[in-house]
Copies of this chain bind each other. A is one copy, B any other.
Amino acid sequence: MDIYDVAILGGGSAGEQVALIAAAGGRRVALVEERLVGGECPYFACMPSKAMLAAAELRQVLRRTAVSAGATSRPVALDGDADAYRAAVARRDVVAKGRDDAEALEGLRARGVRVIKDRGRVERPGVLAAGPISIGWRHLVIATGARFREPAIPGLTRFWTSEQVYASEDRPGSALIVGGGAVGCEIAQVLARFGSRVTLVQHGAQLLPREEPAIASALAAALAEDGVDVRLGAEVAGVAEASGGARITLDTGWETTVERVIVAIGKRPNTTGLGLERLGIEPDERGGLAVDDRCRVSGRTDVWAAGDVTGVALFTHTANYHARTIAANLLGRDARVDHRAIPRGVYTTPAVASVGLTAAAARAQGHDVAVATFPLERTARAFISEATGALVLVADRRDRVLLGAAAIGPHVEELIGEAALAIRARIPLDVLCDLVHPFPTYSELYEPPLQQLLAELDRG
C-alpha cells in the first residue's frame, strides 16, 4: 500500500487546489474523485452559468438599450430566442470545457499528484479506500462538497436542478423555478431573457433570504422587469403530470402549467457514506464538518476539511481560500482563515454583491448598529448609463467600523472588495469616509452613505 503525505477525498475546487499547492511544495499527494476533477464549478455551476448570464445580458441590451445608449440609430433585428439560445449554449460549452476534466487531470498529473477516479471512503485511520485500491495517508483532506437539497413537493417526480439547466441544450418554453436564492434568480433571468415564461416561487417573504431586504426587493423588481413572475411567500402545494409538462398548484391557490420544474433550494454538505465514523468524526447540527481556524476538523490534527463540506459560505472562493490555508499549514506555515469578510455574489444584471453582516444579523449578534442606504441612481455614472441600484452599509456605532455592505447594480461584484477589506481590516469609518473614488464610477456609491454614517455617529 502506497502511503501519501496528503490524501484528498474529493476533487472539486477545494481538493484540486490543495493538491496543486501541496504537490508544488514537494508533498506526495493522492486525490480521489469519482466524477469530474474540478467539481461542479467549472462544468455545471459558476462557469457555465456566467457564460449564459453574459449572453442573456447582452441579448437584453440588444433588445432594449442599444438605441437609447446611442450605439445604433435603429432597433437591432434579433433572431429567434431558440436560435440565440443555441448560440449561447455553444459559448457556454466552450467555457465549461465541454464538461471534460482532461485539462484539470493533466494539471494535477503534471505536478505529480496521483489521481484515482473512483469512489472514496475512509477504510480505517490512516487508510483511504478508492474503489478496490487502498492508500495510506499522513494527512487527510475531506473536500467532498455538497449535494442538492431534495424538495418535498407532493407529486413532483421529475425536475431539473441547476446542473441540468447548465448542461442541457434544451430551453424550456416555460419553467417553474422553486427557490429564490442566487441560483434560482440567475436561472430565472437567463431563461426569461431568452424568451421563456418563468415563474419563480420563493417560500420566504424575500428573495435572497440572508441579504438586506432592500437589496432583495430591488432584485425582485429587476427580475419582474425581465418578465419573471416572482411569487414571494408562496409554496408549491402540488404538481401533477399534464400534457407538455407539469400542472403546478401553489399554496395560494394559483395554478399554472409549465414545461419544466427547476428546483434550486440550496445544497447540503456531503458527509454520508464516507466512512467518517471510522475516524470518530460526526457532522455538526447543520450537516457540515466543523473546523478550527486552520480548517482542521475539530479535535483532529491530521484531518482537514475544505469548501462546501464545512457548511461555511458555500462558494468557490471559500473553497479556494480553505484550500490555500490548508496547503500552507501542510507546508509548515501557520495560516488561519478569517470568515468575517467572505463576499457573496449573485451574477444577475443588476448584480448583487455583499459582505459581512446584514443589519438584522448585526443586531442579533448584539452590535449597536447604524445603517445607511443610498440609491445608485444618484451617482453620476448611473445617470450616464440609466442604471438603478442601491448600497446598504452597516456599521458598529461603538467601534466605528463597518460590519457589512450589500449592493445591487452594475459591476458591484467588482467594488465589493473595498468593503470586504474595510471589514476584514477594521478600517476606521473616518478613514473610509476620506477615501476618494474615481469620478464617474459606480464605486462613488460608497461616499454618501459613509458620510451619512459618520454624521450619525458624530451626533451620538
Quickly give the copy total for this chain: 2
Segment of A108-116, A219-227, A379-387 engaged in the interface with chain B: A379-387
**Cβ-defined contact, A70 with B90, below 8 A:** yes
**Cβ-defined contact, A70 with B47, below 8 A:** no
**Is there a chain B Cβ closer than 8 Å to A210's Cβ?**
no
Q: Report whether over half of chain A's contact residues are helix, strand or loop; otherwise say mixed.
A: helix
Complex Cα spacing A83 to B66, Å: 13
Q: 5 closest A-B pairs (Cβ-Cβ)?
A: A70-B88, A55-B70, A70-B91, A58-B71, A73-B83
**Interfacial chain B residues near A411, Cβ < 8 Å:** 411, 414
28 sampled A-B residue pairs with Cβ under 8 A = A46-B380, A47-B380, A47-B383, A50-B384, A54-B384, A54-B385, A58-B66, A59-B71, A61-B71, A70-B87, A72-B83, A73-B86, A77-B77, A95-B383, A95-B384, A316-B440, A320-B436, A411-B414, A414-B441, A414-B442, A417-B435, A417-B437, A417-B443, A417-B446, A418-B420, A421-B422, A421-B432, A424-B431
Complex Cα spacing A433 to B65, Å: 39
**Cβ-defined contact, B71 with A87, below 8 A:** yes
Complex Cα spacing A47 to B384, Å: 7
Contact among B76, B84, B413 for A62, CB-based, below 8 A: B76
**Is there a chain B Cβ closer than 8 Å to A285's Cβ?**
no
Contact among B338, B384, B438 for A315, CB-based, below 8 A: B438
* Known contacts A73-B83, A345-B438, A380-B47, A414 near B432 by CB under 8 Å: no
Chain A interface residue number, banded: 35 or more
Q: For residue A354, which residue of chain B has the nearest CB?
A: B438
**Interfacial chain B residues near A412, Cβ < 8 Å:** 414
**Is there a chain B Cβ closer than 8 Å to A183's Cβ?**
no
**Cβ-defined contact, A440 with B77, below 8 A:** no
Complex Cα spacing A353 to B87, Å: 33
**Is there a chain B Cβ closer than 8 Å to A28's Cβ?**
no
Complex Cα spacing A344 to B437, Å: 9
**Interfacial chain B residues near A78, Cβ < 8 Å:** 72
Within 8 A of B (CB), among A185-219: none
